[in-house]
Structure 1
Amino acid sequence: MAEELDPVDARILDILQQDAGLSVAEVADRVGLSASPCWRRIKRLEDTGFIRKRVTLLDADKLGLDFEVYAIVKLSLPSSENLDIFEAAVAHWPEVVQCATITGREDYVLRIITSDMHAFDKFLREKLLSLNIVSDCESHIVTRGVKNVTALPLGIVTPHVTS
């Protein structure tokens, strides 16, 4: 069973996932604690794995990384060995920012970020298809992002939050 969160822990998590750059004093003020108890709670949330890491979100457009593709991948033979080979390769490809196994006819969905169509084509030819274990790749180019958030919906985990 997952460790229980109290409402103060949940509020700390919500605040930090909106802005991890806040000081402990600022977080403490927002949740009504002094800095030391707030720091201990944050440390405990990190130690227990509720907080995996803190990151900075970058603007892909300003960096010229605004070509986004979702690729649905089917392996020629989804054996344990081929799954391991594919997942090890994906782990080393910086263009793949998300990878998930999926149910259905296909095996994986990848979210790929590159600078343009030519960079994507090069990725497709030199990395993905060169594995020789991919039997099909259906690419879906994103024309416009509608919603892209990193914050988890803490409001729906009320069974894990105690009063």
Structure 2
Amino acid sequence: MPETLDAIDAKILDLIQYNAALSVAEIADQVGLSSSPCWRRIKRLEDAGVIQRRVTILDREKLGLGFEVYCTVKLTLPTKQNLEAFEQAVLPWPEVAQCATVTGAADYELRIVTRDMHAFDDFLRDKLLSLGLVSNIESRIVVRSVKNSTAVPLRLVSPHIED
């Protein structure tokens, strides 16, 4: 069952999903609470798993990791054992920014981030294809990212959040 959010919880979540560097005092001030009750709410949301972790978002381009590819992957034989083997294999690979099981003709959709076309080719040959589990890969190189958000659309679960 989803966590029930009141207006203050929703405001806290909205603030920290856009700026995790805010102090408890800054958050409390913006939601109209003192620091202690605000901290307790944040702790409750963490304990409930609503707040999974707090991260810093880096600029991939400035780090030389501007090559992004979406790969649709079809396994040779999508048995439970092969699905689990594939999923365990991709977990430690830093190039795999996202991996999702999907419906339709393919088994997985991967978002790959790397330096350039050559590094992507190395990834395909040395990692993905060397598993011996893949029968087909369709790759789509990202030309330009139009929208890239990590924010959860809180207004869909709480009427207290404004656009």
Task: Name the TM-score class by shorter chain.
Answer: over 0.9
**SS of aligned partner of 2:61:** coil
Verify: 1:87 aligned to 2:56, yes or no.
no
Q: CA deviation at 1:94?
A: 0.6
Q: Which runs of 5+ in 1 are unaligned?
A: none
Q: Which runs of 5+ in 2 are unaligned?
A: none
**SS of aligned partner of 1:158:** coil
Partner in structure 2 of residue 58 of structure 1 = 58
Partner in structure 2 of residue 137 of structure 1 = 137
Partner in structure 2 of residue 111 of structure 1 = 111
**Contact 2:24–2:38, Cα closer than 8 Å, also in 1:** yes
Partner in structure 2 of residue 18 of structure 1 = 18
> What is the distance in 1 between the residues matched to 2:39 and 2:133?
48
TM-score by length of 1: 0.96
Q: Percent identity?
A: 66
Q: Deviations over 1:26-78 (max 9, x none)?
A: 00000000011101100111011010000000000110000000000000000
Partner in structure 2 of residue 30 of structure 1 = 30
> What is the distance in 2 between the residues matched to 1:18 and 1:74?
35
RMSD: 1.4
User: Structure 1 runs of 4+ off > 4 angstroms?
Assistant: none
Give, as a single letter, the amino acid of the residue that structure 1 aligns with 2:140: H
Q: CA deviation at 1:132?
A: 0.8
> What is the distance in 2 between the residues matched to 1:41 and 1:89?
37
> What is the distance in 1 between the residues matched to 2:83 and 2:23?
42
Q: CA deviation at 1:5?
A: 1.1
Q: CA deviation at 1:92?
A: 1.2
Q: CA deviation at 1:4?
A: 1.2
> What is the distance in 2 between the residues matched to 1:3 and 1:13?
12
Give, as a single letter, the amino acid of the residue that structure 2 aligns with 1:31: V
**SS of aligned partner of 2:8:** helix
Q: CA deviation at 1:2?
A: 2.3
Q: CA deviation at 1:158?
A: 3.1
Aligned residues: 161
TM-score by length of 2: 0.96
Give, as a single letter, the amino acid of the residue that structure 1 aligns with 2:135: S
